Chain A
Amino acid sequence: MPLENPFQDPLRFERRVPECAMVIFGANGDLTKRKLLPALYRLAYERRLDAGFAVLGISRTPMTDDQFREKMLASVKEFLEDSPFDADVWTAFAQGVFYMAGNFDDAALFPALDARLKAIDAARHTGGNVLFYLSAQPSQYIPIAQGIAAANVGKGSGWRRIVIEKPFGHDLASAQTLSAELHSAFEESEVYRIDHYLGKETVQNILALRFGNGIFEPLWNRRYVNHVQITAAESIGVEGRGAYYQEAGALRDMIQNHLSQVMATIAMEPSATFRPDSVRDERSKLLRSIRVMKPDEVLQNTVSGQYGPAHIGGEDFPGFRQETGVKPDAQTDTYAAVTFFVDNWRWAGVPFYLRSGKHLPKRVTEIAIQFNAAPLAIFNSDETTTAPNLLILRIQPEEGISLKFLSKRPGSGMKLRPVSMDFNYGSSFGERSPSAYETLLLDAIIGDATLYTRQDMVEASWAVVDAIQHVWDNTKFDFPNYAAGTWGPKAADDMLARRGHVWRQP
């Protein structure tokens, strides 16, 4: 049998995926409806999936295969963003969509799952390859892992992989427990911890910008970089998820995972190759180099915030404590800002400011790298002539890169003004960018874990965040401390001002 497909044409064809079946635990949930099935349909539409690709949904609700297909058809139509729907493509794709009802705590579910997978393999030639996807409640992760291990469904004639969604525990200890349970059924190399931020085109473009160009890397260090700001702002509040959110908070929900992964991508050393483990090793090393704060450093270098009620654009918005399901004295952080330092030769002494919050003025995620000023100001200095050089990497909503620098104003005299050189991802290439889930699902099926988080990375970021969370848990904050629609508490401005910096307004 030939080992390689001789018909591949990497210059023209998209990456192809091997045959497989995908098992979705929590198939009746929001994530499946809003993200997973639309992403899979889109991959089918783009001819990226094998002809026999199969999806087996599992949840508690009794349904037939056809009922599940109908439900998923409605979801795909509703949540298919910027893509056309084609009935013929759906009909062919839906032939491979199956369903089984079951309780994840029920040990009998897993042998039945094994039998169903064998039947699907026989009918659809999936080669014994199975991708398990945990789209269930986090509390169900361990029972599912135990069920898979007990019935030995984690091993088979082909490859087996498991994708899990965050949270990967709620602290370091619980993250280690979860990992140990997953490892009872899967090797670490078979566990794909998804962080959809890493699937975004612009986050991947950070690697291209840094390691595909020769001009940036010499500047990418403490000698030239003054500080880095990473902002992930949401303009909405908790939107009915108050009960869940009050147990999480911005520090755990955003900074422990998404923002620390983005920071690692910005600050990591170049990897020797672009192989998954090579890239992840460097990311992991960076996360392990983030200085863990001592208890007496935490309140100086972090800010916890919670939004209060506000009147914006003629509309009244409730404060977090007035949201449904939230305790009236909740101490949850809907805003978190931290100052991290990386203890390595490249970054020693350079502050990395990370902030994330709900009900901020706009939805935006960006990284701003501020460079040191010119060593000598030879022009008449005013506010504009001292504007710093900034490299802005916008992750959402308008993915792109801007470089801000000073230029001479036309006319006599030497007056400078800041100008911006913009690269807009969407308009420069004009192509539809795949959604983060399309990218990440394809990667998992192909077996490319570059954009997935490894357990050592999870543990490293928990170690940093736990030190902060522990102090916050033992502090009574005077919440609310910022009004919805503002850029967060004044204390966050003060935190930067202590080092002579100011937050950039995205």
Chain B
Amino acid sequence: MGAAGGTIAPDRILHDMADLWVSLGKQGEGDAGVLRACSMTLVVAAEESDDPQAIGETLAALMPEHPSRAIVIRFRAEDRRSLAARVFAQCWMPFGHRQQICCEQIEITASDASLPDLTAVVLPLTVPDLPVILWCRSPRIFHLPAFPQLAVIAQKVVLDSAAFGDSAAVLGEMSGAAAAGRLLADLSWTRLTRWRELIAQIFENRGQLANLPLVTDIMIAHRAATPTTAYYLAAWLIDGIATTGARPRVQFRSDGGEPAWRLSRVEMRAPGSADAIASIALAERHAAEVRVGGLLNKALLPALTDYALMREELAIPGRDPVFERALAAASKLALS
């Protein structure tokens, strides 16, 4: 279902969606029909060159857990104003069930010059009473002058600072936006969840918790030029250890290699001890080796696909105070 060449009318899209549900209902077998599911509006801002199949697959994988009305806006670097749209549905049949579950997807193609017009198009397409999350997949789009007008319709904007290049600059930019009241999420922070969870688990043990004030040195090894993940982890560790009154030093170490954001080792040390109080090192096959108190444990780290990262972020549509604190501290650390 396409729309007229240079403009699109939200009413027309909504009408097309209503038709879509009627036709899906007719396709349903017997009484089973289709079940419409929706827990949010997910707006995806992507470059036209961004692999449409990869985005489609990510959204399809997200739908069963975060059923959403997805609005994918594909931007073309063009000065002429142009907009086009089509609607379709993502459906799945849960194993062993007779009933299909479907979510709506709207795809809008827009030139950069049309960005100021987009808010008026997207706003009526959002599902009433449910959160709107904007996933911006491109630093270029984020930096378009009219982007804040689009961002204002979303409760939360999801970015990936790893795509921005200069860690200190992007952390400063994000920290400034957060201080101004914008709710942000960063997939580079999401990539740290399993590392942070392993660290938190170490200090659930009261014996280990007693060692925390002794930590004087933190070493974080990463692949290339200090990525935002390393700053985030350092800031979060310092913040946690500071609650005991200690102020550990942080050393970043580059091991080289790709991807740049990947961490390879974290150590927490006390003076006068050959062994680290705790260390986590990346091992083979998405695993991490955790050494603590003379015990070696192995934990699996799930693959960090776009799907896995967004799945976690979409589960937090509101404020994330731990991230907000880490972002502010990481920004200061990166600039120091």
Residues on A with beta carbons closer than 8 Å to the beta carbon of B287: 88
B97 partner residues in chain A, CB cutoff 8 A? 398, 424, 427
Q: Contact between B240 and A16 (Cβ–Cβ < 8 Å)?
A: no
Chain A residues near B285 (CB-CB < 8 A): 88
* Alpha-carbon distance A127/B197, docked complex (angstroms): 21
Chain A residues within 8 Å of B210, by CB: 1-2
User: Known interface pairs A7-B200, A9-B322, A47-B198. Does A125 touch B213 (Cβ–Cβ under 8 Å)?
Assistant: no
| Total count of chain A residues near the partner, CB < 8 A | 38
Minimum distance in angstroms from A160 CB to a CB of chain B: 16
Contact A51 B202 (CB under 8 A): yes
Q: Which residue of A lies closest to B318 (CB)?
A: A11
Annotate A102-142 by CB proximity to B: 1 below 8 A, 0 otherwise.
00000000000000000000001101000000000000000
B205 touches A50 (CB 8 A): yes
Q: Given A11-B320, A427-B64, does the pair A2, B212 have CB atoms closer than 8 Å?
A: yes
Determine which of B213, B240, B292 lies in contact with A7 in the assembled complex, contact meaning CB atoms within 8 Å.
B240
Q: Does B131 contact A (CB under 8 A)?
A: no
Residue of B nearest to A50 (CB): B205
Contact of A427 with B312 in the complex, beta carbons under 8 Å: no
Please state if A52 and B209 are interface contacts (CB–CB under 8 Å).
no
Minimum C-beta distance from B77 to chain A (A): 36
Q: How far is the CA of A8 from the CA of B322 in the complex (A)?
A: 9
* Cβ-closest chain A residue relative to B319: A11
B316 contacts across to A, CB distance below 8 A: 11-12
Is the beta-carbon distance between B65 and A86 smaller than 8 angstroms? no
- B209–A5 contact, CB under 8 A? yes
Flag B201-230 by CB within 8 Å of A: 1 or 0 each. Answer: 111111111101100000000000000000
Give the residues in chain B near A424, CB-CB below 8 Å. 94, 97
Mask for B310-322, Cβ within 8 A of A = 1, else 0? 0010001000101
- In the complex, B299 has a CB within 8 A of chain A: yes
Interface string of A379-416 (1 = CB under 8 A from B): 00000000000000000001000000000000000000
Inter-chain contact B298/A91, CB cutoff 8 Å:
yes
- The total of Cβ contacts below 8 Å across the A-B interface reads 121
Q: Is the CB of B204 within 8 A of A50?
A: yes
Residue B4 CB within 8 A of the other chain: no
- Chain B 289-315 against A: per-residue CB contact (8 Å), 1 yes, 0 no? 010110111111000000000001000
Asked whether any CB of chain B lies closer than 8 Å to the CB of A243, the reply is no
Quick check: is A13 within 8 A (CB to CB) of the other chain? yes
* Contact residues in A for B203 (Cβ distance below 8 Å): 5-7
Which of chain B's residues 127-142 have a Cβ closer than 8 Å to chain A?
A: none
Query: Which residue of B209, B293, B320, B322 contacts A1 across the interface (Cβ within 8 Å)?
Result: B209
Given A2-B212, A427-B101: A13 touches B197 (CB 8 Å cut-off): yes
Contacts of A125 in B (CB 8 A): 205, 207-208, 293, 295
Q: Which of A6, A50, A430 contacts B65 (CB 8 A)?
A: A430
B270 to nearest A CB, angstroms? Answer: 14
Docked complex Cα distance between A394 and B230 (Å) = 46
* Residue B199 at the chain A interface, CB threshold 8 Å: yes
In the bound assembly, the distance between CA atoms of A6 and B240 in angstroms comes to 5
Q: Give Cα A9 to B196, complex, Å.
A: 9
**Are the CB atoms of A51 and B99 closer together than 8 Å?**
no
Q: Mark A337-365, 1 if CB is under 8 A from B, else 0.
A: 00000000000000000000000000000
A365 to chain B, nearest CB (A): 17
How close is A86's CB to chain B, nearest CB, in angstroms? 6
From residue A20, how far is it (CB to closest CB) to chain B in Å? 10
A12: chain B residues at CB < 8 Å are 193, 196-197, 312, 316, 322
Residues of B near A427 (CB, < 8 A) are 64, 92, 94, 97, 101
Residues of A within 8 A of B293 (CB): 51-52, 125
Interface residues of B in 60-95 (CB under 8 A from A): 64-65, 67, 92, 94
Closest to A86 in B: B300
Determine the chain B residues whose CB is within 8 A of the CB of A213 once the complex forms.
none
Assess A6 versus B37: contact at CB under 8 Å? Given A51-B297, A89-B300, A426-B94.
Answer: no
Type the 1/0 row for A83-98, where 1 means its CB is closer than 8 Å to any CB of B.
Answer: 0001011011001000
Do A19 and B206 have beta carbons less than 8 Å apart? yes
User: Please, how many angstroms separate the alpha-carbon atoms of A95 and B295 in the complex?
Assistant: 10
Q: Is A309 an interface residue when CB atoms closer than 8 A count as contact?
A: no
User: Are A430 and B200 in contact, with the CB atoms below 8 A?
Assistant: no
In the bound complex, residues from chain B placing their C-beta under 8 Å from that of A431 are 65
Residue A175 interfacial (CB < 8 Å): no
B contact residues around A47 at 8 Å (CB): 194, 197-198, 201, 299-300
**A residues less than 8 Å from B298 (CB atoms):** 88-89, 91-92
Residues of chain A with a CB closer than 8 A to B296's CB = 92
Instruction: Determine how close the nearest CB of chain B comes to the CB of A232; give it in whole angstroms.
Output: 20
- Cβ-based interface call for B328 (8 A): no
Quote the shortest CB–CB distance from B283 to chain A (angstroms).
8
A45 within 8 A of B: yes
Contact between A127 and B200 (Cβ–Cβ < 8 Å)? Answer: no
Contacting residues, chain B, for A89 (C-beta < 8 A): 298-300
By a CB distance below 8 angstroms, the chain A residues around B24 are none
Evaluate whether A428 and B67 lie within 8 angstroms (CB atoms) in the complex, with A2-B243, A92-B298 already known.
yes
For chain A, residues 4 to 60, give those with C-beta under 8 angstroms from any C-beta of chain B. Answer: 5-9, 11-14, 16-19, 45, 47, 50-52
State which residues 257-292 of B face A: CB under 8 Å: 285, 287, 290, 292
Contact for B207 among A11, A19, A91, A92, CB less than 8 A? A19
Q: Which residue of B lies closest to A429 (CB)?
A: B65
Known interface pairs A51-B290, A91-B298, A398-B97; A422-B202 also in contact (CB < 8 Å): no
B181 on interface, CB distance cutoff 8 Å: no
Contact B193 A5 (CB under 8 A): no
Query: Smallest CB–CB gap between B203 and chain A, Å?
Result: 5
Contact A51 B201 (CB under 8 A): yes
Please, which residue of chain B has its CB at the minimum distance from the CB of A18? B204
Min C-beta distance of A288 to chain B, whole Å: 38
Residues in B neighbouring A6, C-beta threshold 8 A: 203, 212, 239-241, 243-244
Q: Which residue of A lies closest to B189 (CB)?
A: A12
A16–B207 Cα distance when bound, in Å, is 15
Complexed CA–CA distance, A19 and B201 (Å) = 10
Contacts of B99 in A (CB 8 A): 422
Contact B297 A92 (CB under 8 A): yes
Q: How far is the CA of A66 from the CA of B203 in the complex (A)?
A: 30
A7-B65 contact, Cβ under 8 Å, with A19-B207, A426-B94: no
Q: Are B205 and A18 in contact (CB under 8 A)?
A: yes
Q: A12-B197, A424-B94 are in contact. Are A127 and B207 (CB under 8 A)?
A: yes
A14 surroundings in chain B (CB, below 8 A): 197
Alpha-carbon separation in the docked complex, A91 to B295 (Å) = 13
Quick one: which of A2, A16, A88, A124 contacts B201, CB cutoff 8 A?
A16
A-B contact pairs, 11 of them (CB 8 A): A7-B240, A9-B322, A12-B322, A19-B205, A47-B197, A51-B295, A89-B299, A127-B206, A127-B207, A398-B97, A429-B64
Sorted from nearest, which 10 A-B pairs have the closest CB atoms? Answer: A427-B94, A430-B64, A7-B200, A6-B240, A430-B65, A6-B243, A1-B210, A19-B205, A16-B204, A88-B298
- Further 12 A-B residue pairs, CB within 8 A, beyond A124-B295, A422-B99, A424-B94: A7-B196, A7-B200, A9-B197, A9-B322, A12-B312, A13-B193, A17-B204, A47-B299, A51-B290, A125-B293, A398-B97, A428-B64
